[in-house]
Amino acid sequence: MRSPALARAAAVILALEGLALVVFALIELVGLGAGDAASLPTALALIVLTLLGAGALIAFAVGANAGRSWARSGGIVFQVLAVALALASLTIQPVQWLFTLAVGIPGALGFALLVASARAENPRPTE
């Protein structure tokens, strides 16, 4: 039994996270052009890796919307990493609450939606 509403909601979260990473990479690219980078190779590598992560999140969004298990699995990994990053940010003083909430809430919501979508699409067999 497919649950398009849950899959679509999870896909929206993943796509928005992917778009946020694209925006972050663009901001870093502008900073690179302004000469803010201490190391050019490191800055370029960070930008490329950020864009790869954004591409992966957008691919997972498309796949999750289509009900693909590989996309849900990859999306869940990204959501767990987002929640871990948000929790780790609590150890930095002063706590940057905007960052913590902006990363943690979508991560937790995306995780819950992906798990709910998987459960709805793959019901337990009855005996």
Beta carbons within 8 Å of 62's beta carbon, 6+ residues apart: 11, 71
Does the model's pTM come out above 0.85? yes
Asked if residues 57 and 50 have their Cβ atoms less than 8 Å apart, the reply is no
Share of residues in the chain with pLDDT > 90 (%): 77
Distances (CA, A) of 97 to 45, 92, 94, 101: 28, 10, 9, 6
pLDDT by residue (tens digit) across 15-68?
A: 999 999 999 999 999 988 887 777 888 889 999 999 999 999 999 999 999 989
- Spatial distance between the Cα atoms of 99 and 19, rounded to a whole number of angstroms: 16
**What one-character DSSP code corresponds to residue 11?**
H
Cα angle: 77, vertex 2, 82; to 5 degrees: 15
88, exposed or middle or buried, with CB in 10 Å at 0-12, 13-18, 19+? exposed
Q: How confident is the model at residue 1 (pLDDT cuts 50, 70, 90)?
A: very low
